[in-house]
Amino acid sequence: MAVHTELSPTEAADRLALRELFDAYAGCADRRDAEGQKALFTDDTVFVVHMEGEGSEPTYVLEGREALTRFSTTSTATR
């Protein structure tokens, strides 16, 4: 991670927005709130899951926010 000694107000705001998005996603995951998680994605999202790790073939490629329903219901059922 890069070390910055000075951030512009825009960069600071962008970093805060990303942190809040990450926290919202994690909070929804903790609560098993699939609808809340889906709401964090754009309608035309492409969500690629690599269950075997980086460099592997995708396990899932979901296109569109509504496609996330299938993944969220199957992934939470195994927890």
Q: What is the pLDDT of residue 3?
A: 74
Burial of 46 (0-12, 13-18, 19+ CB in 10 A): exposed
Considering only the C-alpha atoms of the chain, give the largest distance between any 2 of them, rounded to a whole number of Å.
45
Angle at 70 (CA atoms; ends 79, 67), nearest 5 degrees: 140
The pLDDT value recorded for residue 71 is 65
Per-domain boundaries in the chain? 9-77
Which CATH code fits 9-77? Answer: 3.10.450.50
The one-digit pLDDT tens for each residue of the chain (79 residues) are 677 678 999 999 999 999 999 999 999 999 999 899 999 999 999 999 899 988 899 998 999 998 988 766 555 444 4
